[in-house]
A and B are shown apart, each in its own frame.
Chain A
Amino acid sequence: MSTSAAVAPIFPTFEQVCQGFAGQIGMLRQMAPEPTLTDAVRVERAIDTLIAETNAGEAVWLESCIHCGQCTTACHFFQATGETKYAPMRKMDLYRRIYQREVGPFRWWYKLITRPVKLKELEDLQELVYDSCSECGRCTMVCPMGIDTASLVHHLRSALVAAELVPAELAALTAEQKHRGTIFGASADTLMNMINTIRDHYGVTIPLDKPSAEVMVLSSAVDLVANGNGLLATARIMNHLGVDWTMCSDGFESANFGLLSGDMALWRQQSESITTAAQRIGAKTLVIAECGHAYPALRWNPMIKGGSLPFDMVYMSEFLGRMAKAGRLNLTPIDGKITYHDPCKTGRRGGAFDQPRAVLQAMNADYVELPSGREYNWCCGGGAGIFLLERATRLRDESFKIKIKQVNATGAATVVVSCASCRLNFEAGRVKNHWDKEVASLVELVADHLIDTPAQAPAAKSSQPGVTA
């Protein structure tokens, strides 16, 4: 175990973090911006957004649905409630109508036989594309046409942004990140304070704003305003590895409420601040914190020219997996049976399957796969911002029962997650259901099992070129 393990902890437990967030989320609803445009303009903007975002890909998917019903049974929200309005295929109905009227090859005909879209219909859509779709993509795995409903839902979210119809909690955080550059008030000062606290109390150094570094590491608001253990764990691992790393005060936030809400202007503003900082310091690797949607916001975003960026973007679990595979993580064994929950955004929709498993293997874990695991994993029900929506509490709670059943079937005592949203949702579900499992974050688990030896001092590693394994 590392030296800092002996220091008395000062940060709250994750259960306390979770309770604290519940209070903060409650306040968001009062902070949500009110609509400013007329109804007609809001509808028009939603339609224009969909017209602009509909390419051949979206059109083919909208054209292909045969109403075979397979996606319905694959969706956790339908499975949990049995309510037909949550069927994935129905989420596309309004999009298809707009497409048929405005873009499709028979638009002159559909303009005659279909009704124009009304604001009320867009208002009703809110529940379908925010509350009851975590864009997890499980429906795509069963669709005989292979329709990627999650992508279409994302376009619908963008349309609702244009129509000023983002749910209150997401709207408040989107506005905060857009205008102040913070989430839950997590500013550069918050980051500096957290870094100072970690240094003063634990003696763990976090390099900030180094003019150049090989590895640039991101954090997230959850870690900065509540869960100090997350950033502490990250720092201990980076120092253990002896990598040349830094955090940047002008690009540290993984969470991107532009992507979550569908506000792609904010998405760009947020992601560009990170890629610009990474280029400035000459980073070779950008490590994204355990914040699921940050992976598609940065690594997989089709609008970021990844090929021409001089650095790799990796998710925390991927980075740890690479280090574990390279034998660079010196870890004590872990007790008890363990399973791993693939977050939708890094698993099925991200492809980072093997790396987190390699980390657990490096701890000699008694590892057991979830039934319906990997590509077929059930979403925990809290992704894509749903954890923040009070209105979606019933949907979340009901669908989490699927997760409980799935984890219980493994007989594991601990379920490891690698996404702050999943973890908050798991923790809330654990407490609510008096569930006897332990929920652990991969990065904190690794930090708790580090064996710090002199060989891992920074000087010894500085001769190793790069960590971009």
Chain B
Amino acid sequence: MTLLEFARGPAIHWALIILVAGTIWRLLGVLALTRGGDLSRPRDAFGNYKGYRTVFSRAWPSSEFNVATRYQTIVAYLFHFATLIVVVGITAHIEFIQSLTGASWPALPNAVGVAIGIVALVSLLALILRRLTNPSIYCSNLGDYITWILVAAPLITGLMAFAHLGPRYETMLAIHILSVALMFIWFPFSKLMHSIWFVFSRAQSGLTYAHKGVQI
């Protein structure tokens, strides 16, 4: 078995199994805990439902915090969207998804894919630079850095494979797939799970405050 066969075969498949099983385990382990009810009388009878708005409204900071959050909000938006587009938009990824699910859609032109991949990487670099230069604000821990490395690795190796940089293409591609596998394995145990938690966390707080008649 070549390195590429290993990456495309058992490595990525086991990584996906760990990703799915681990995520379900972590979600259930938390969500199956009892929920403390709020017995106090709500400010207005149906007001609590307004709390769910926070799931969406918190996607953008309030104008009160514009200045403090501007850099991070803009760069984080660039990173998330650019990464998403690259993940589902370029030919190689669509072929991989098709091999797993059978679904397929038209791909972006290669040049556009590369450009967006670079945007994702540069924005990720911009985020880590800010984290490194403002240690008192970010209070970073080991998990923050491991997560950054495991997210940056697929972007870097993917761009290198695409541009035929580094070792020969097959090896580079194998490294790229292995780096993705590592990120998948890391996902359920790390802060990458925020991509799911944000819905629950925002909803909870939105409801808690809406109960008292406060829109957060």
Binding site for B on A (CB under 8 A): 54-57, 59-61, 63-70, 72-74, 82-84, 87, 89-90, 103-106, 140-148, 151, 299-307, 309, 348-351, 372, 375-376
Contacts and interface: CB of A to CB of B under 8 A. Distances in A.
A73 B65 CA distance: 9
A68 B77 CA distance: 13
Contacts of B103: none
Contacts of B209: 140, 348-349, 351
A64 B198 contact: yes
Contact of A56 (B30, B43, B138): B30
Given A84-B139, A300-B212, A350-B212, A147 B205 contact: yes
Interface centre among A55, A57, A307, by most chain B C-beta atoms within 10 angstroms, is A57
A66 B37 contact: no
B49 interface: no
Contact of A351 (B32, B61, B62, B214): B214
Nearest to A348: B214
Given A105-B25, A106-B26, A145-B201, A66 B189 contact: no
Contacts of A65: 191
A142 B62 contact: yes
Given A65-B191, A84-B139, A303 B68 contact: no
B191 A301 contact: no
Interface string B11-29: 0000000000000011011
Contact of A105 (B30, B61, B72, B213): B30
Contacts of B61: 70, 142, 144
Contacts of A72: 136-139
A67 B138 contact: yes
Interface of B: 25-26, 28-41, 43, 54, 58, 61-62, 64-65, 68-69, 72, 76, 131, 134-141, 144, 189, 191, 193-194, 197-198, 200-202, 204-206, 208-209, 211-216
A145 B198 contact: yes
Which of A70, A144, A299, A349: most chain B Cβ within 10 A?
A: A144
Secondary structure type dominating chain B contacts: helix
Given A67-B191, A351-B212, A90 B200 contact: no
Contact of A70 (B35, B69, B136): B69
9 contacts: A56-B33, A67-B191, A70-B65, A87-B137, A105-B25, A142-B64, A144-B61, A145-B194, A146-B202
Contact of B137 (A54, A73, A104, A141): A73
Contacts of A304: 39-40
